[in-house]
Amino acid sequence: MRPLARAWLALVLAFLYVPVAVMVAMGLNASPLYALPLHFSLHWFAALAGDDAILLATRNSLLVALVTCVVATAIGTLAAVALARPDLRGRGVLQALLLPPIGIPWLISGTAMLVFFSWTGIGRGLHSMMLGHVALATPYVVLVVGPGLKALPPNLEDAAKSLGATPADAFRSVTLPLLLPSVVAAALFAFAVSLDQFVISYFLATPGVTTLPVLIYGAIRSGFTPEINAVSTALLAASVVLLLGFARLAGVGGFLGRR
């Protein structure tokens, strides 16, 4: 049974990774027409540097992801701290309210944002993308930081207060240093969520203001070029690095599957 089981796993992993590997290979291939054998070349990556639209979209993506990362991590960590207080009332409701941003199909939340932001005059563009991405990433931050808080030894803040530390001082000098791995993991995750987010950005983009995924989507629909493979490869590499960092800090499968 065991060889059969392992063979099945290998097939599944191949299914998950081969197409992606193909795309990466194409991004690194000299020929534009998927010609084999491969001739390694960074030609398409070099071409990116000269493409203003791609550079602008990259800059936008990084900007939105950075703001999302900072804001979502900050406010999500504060909320996680409050949600961990033993005397909190209405915890069940507050926790349930974190689920719609994650659980409702992005198509619905994205179009809802489009309707609401246009209607209220908030409008579209980078600022409304940030508004949307933060809302999407914050629940994840709470879900990552919450268990981290729970895993801290009991009474540490009480001990600090008994020694003369104010609550803010106790949090800063005791809780925060111990919580740092979880907070950094959450920050990496928030960054990755924003960087890869397509649907919400798509509805909130305007003709001049796009992010990388929106640009890639447009390029695919209007006949794509190997440059898009190179951009996609770069995007993929960035998320993989971020997520490996997250997995290392939060433990494999950290908040979803740890036994």
Partner 1 sequence: MPAERHAAGPRPRRTGTAATAALLAPTYLWLAVAVFLPLAGMLYFSLLTGVPAPHHPAAFTAENYLAFVRKPYLLHVAWRSLALGLWTTGLCALIGWPAALALSRAVRGRARDAIFLLTILPFWTSGLVRVLSWTMVLADHGLLDRALGAVIPGWRVSDLLYTFPAIVIGLVHAYLPYMILTCYVSLAAIDPALIEAARGLGARAPVIFARILLPISLPGLLSGAVLIFVPVIGSFMEPRILGGRVGVTMGTVIEDQFTQAFDWPLGAALSFTMLAAVLLLFGVLYGASRLRPAA
Partner 2 sequence: MVGVDVAGVSKGFGAVPVLDDVSAAFAPGMLTSLLGPSGSGKTTLLRIIAGFETPDRGSVRIGGETVTDTPVWRRQIGMVFQSYALFPHMTVLQNVLFGLHRRGVRGTDAIARARATLDLVRLGGFEARRPAQLSGGQQQRVALARAIVTGPRVLLLDEPLSALDRRLRQEMQVELRRIQRTLNLTTIFVTHDQEEALTLSDTVAILDHGRIVQSGAPAEVYERPRSRFAASFLGDANFLAGTATADGVVVSGRLLRTADPLPSPGSAVTLAVRPEKIGLDTADSAADGNTLPAIVQQIIYAGAASTFLLAAEDGTLLRVFAQNRDVPAAALGQRVVLHWAPAHSVVVAA
Q: Decide: 157 and 175 in contact? Cβ < 8 Å.
A: yes
Binding marks (x or -) toward partner 1, 235..254, rule CB under 8 A?
xx--xx--xx--x----xx-
Pick from 73, 89, 177: nearest CA to 133: 73
* Interaction between residue 111 and partner 1 (CB under 8 A): yes
The entry of partner 2, partner 1, none near residue 192 (CB within 5 to 8 angstroms by kind) is partner 1
* Interaction between residue 50 and partner 1 (CB under 8 A): no
State the minimum distance, in angstroms, from the CB of residue 69 to partner 2.
24
Encoded tokens for 13 = 């992993």
State the minimum distance, in angstroms, from the CB of residue 16 to partner 1.
5
Contacting residues toward partner 2, per CB under 8 A:
153-156, 158-167, 169, 173-174, 177-178
Three-state SS letters, 166-182: CHHHHHHHHHHHHHHHH
* Interaction between residue 99 and partner 1 (CB under 8 A): no
* Interaction between residue 65 and partner 1 (CB under 8 A): no
Distances (CA, A) of 254 to 132, 147, 189, 193, 212: 25, 9, 11, 16, 28
**For the chain, counts of helices (H) and of strands (E):** 14, 0
The entry of partner 1, partner 2, none near residue 221 (CB within 5 to 8 angstroms by kind) is partner 1
Residues sharing a CB contact under 8 Å with residue 145, sequence separation 6 or more, in sequence order: 76, 77, 80, 81, 179, 182, 183, 186
Among the candidate windows 46-54, 69-77, 152-160, 173-181, which touches partner 1 by CB under 8 A? 69-77
* Interaction between residue 1 and partner 1 (CB under 8 A): yes
Residue list 195-224, contact with partner 1 (CB under 8 A): 195-196, 198-199, 202-203, 213, 216-217, 220-221, 224
Encoded tokens for 137 = 């990433």
Helix (H, G, I), strand (E, B) or coil at 253: coil
Nearer to partner 2, 103 or 154 (CB): 154
Pick from 234, 229, 235: nearest CA to 196: 235
Distances (CA, A) of 131 to 31, 123, 134, 145: 41, 11, 6, 21
* Interaction between residue 5 and partner 1 (CB under 8 A): yes
Binding marks (x or -) toward partner 1, 117..156, rule CB under 8 A?
x-xx----------xx-xx--xx--x--------------
The entry of partner 1, partner 2, none near residue 70 (CB within 5 to 8 angstroms by kind) is none
Helix (H, G, I), strand (E, B) or coil at 98: coil
Among the candidate windows 41-49, 143-151, 175-183, 229-237, which touches partner 1 by CB under 8 A? 229-237
